[in-house]
Structures are given as structure tokens and as C-alpha cells.
A and B are shown apart, each in its own frame.
Chain A
């Protein structure tokens, strides 16, 4: 079974600085998807960024980028120019590339709480 591990329960960053959140996963599959979700105090889960395992190029969305190391099974999130609105819980998630059935479910890490200091 696949597992997702976020080893940093809490992180803190100064406004305008850069922070990296770590995520490792375990799988025997070769094709899958990885995600970072943000959960602000409102608790609405918001997709931040997505990475397809077959793509070597790291995904980027504005100030958010990932460092995807497939061999190491590592998927870290870098937030550049941190803003107060970035303060939230961040969840790393894994999904098999198999369509349908239970393989289609997301497997979440336990989350990292990010604080942004003004």
C-alpha cells in the first residue's frame, strides 16, 4: 500500500522569504500523480500544484514550485516570496494513475502547518 509522509508538523517563514515543505512517499507503482493541497483556516481544501510522475520537469504555479525526485520518492513544495495569506495547513497527496476503483483515491500525508511572520 502507498504511504505519504510529511515529517515537518510545523514550519515558520518570514514574510517575503522562501520556505520548503517536505514530503516523501512510498509506492511500487511507476505511474502516479502527486499533489500539494492548502487548507487555510476556513478549512476549504485548495489544490496548489500537481505533478505527473512521468514528467521530469518540475511543476510550477506562480510562487509555488516543486522539487520532484522520483528515484528518491521525494516531492517537496517551495513557496517563494511568502505572503501572509500563505499561512495554512499544507497536505501532500498521492494518487495512482490507474483509473477507477479504490486506486483512484487520494492518499494524504498528515500535513504541515505553515505560519508566516510579518
Chain B
């Protein structure tokens, strides 16, 4: 079965520090991958999506960037974190053979202090 892994699970970083969140996928190949952010008490906001290696589309201009160095690896980065970057970050992929259905990783809780 397809599984998404994310790490770290929890992260506390000071303002101005760099960020790297990793998402890896098992059990499928060439998935579309997505990064979402969920602020406290709010819905999910799509940040980036990728249809293949090196192909990144940004939905919201911001302090973050994404990269896809391998087929099943998706990385969310920042050079300098802002307080407003705090939130819960979820990686998602689409099910093999079910392009319309997304499944999610366990998420990373980021607190910027």
C-alpha cells in the first residue's frame, strides 16, 4: 500500500533560521505530490504541488520554497523563517490509479519562536 512519511514530526525554530521538511512516498511511482499548510483552527492551504522530478508549482507567494530531487521525495524549505510560518505542514500524494484521490502523511508541527 502507499504510505507517506514526513519528518520531523515536531520542530521548534527561531525566527530567521533555515527550514527543511522532508516528505517521502512508498508503494507508488511518479506520484503528484503536494505541500499544504494548516494554521491553527483553520483549513488547509495548498502551498506547492509537483507532477515530477524538478517540477514545482507554487500556489501562494511566500517565504517558502519546494524541491523534488527524486521521484518519491518532496522537500519544503526556507532560508529564513518568519513567525507567520508557524503551522502544521502536511504532505499529500495521489493514489496509484486513482488520480483524483489524495492521501496524506502524518504532518509536521512547526513553531517559529
Contacts and interface: CB of A to CB of B under 8 A. Distances in A.
B13 interface: no
A33 B51 contact: no
Interface in B94-108: 94, 99-107
B104 A45 contact: yes
Contact of B49 (A42, A47, A102): A102
A91 interface: yes
Interface residues of B, number: 25
Interface in A11-37: 33, 35
Given A43-B107, A102-B57, A91 B100 contact: no
A33 B34 contact: no
A95 B100 contact: yes
A41 interface: no
A102 B94 CA distance: 13
User: Chain B binding site: helix, strand, loop or mixed by DSSP?
Assistant: strand
A109 B59 CA distance: 17
B44 interface: yes
Looking at chain A, what size class is its interface with the partner chain? 20 to 34
Contacts of B38: 43
Interface string A69-98: 000000000000000000000010001010
The 4 nearest A-B residue pairs measured at CB: A45-B104, A110-B43, A108-B44, A33-B100
Interface of B: 32, 34, 38, 42-44, 46, 49, 51, 57, 59, 88, 90, 92, 94, 99-107, 109
Interface of A: 33, 35, 42-47, 50, 91, 95, 97, 99-102, 104-106, 108-111
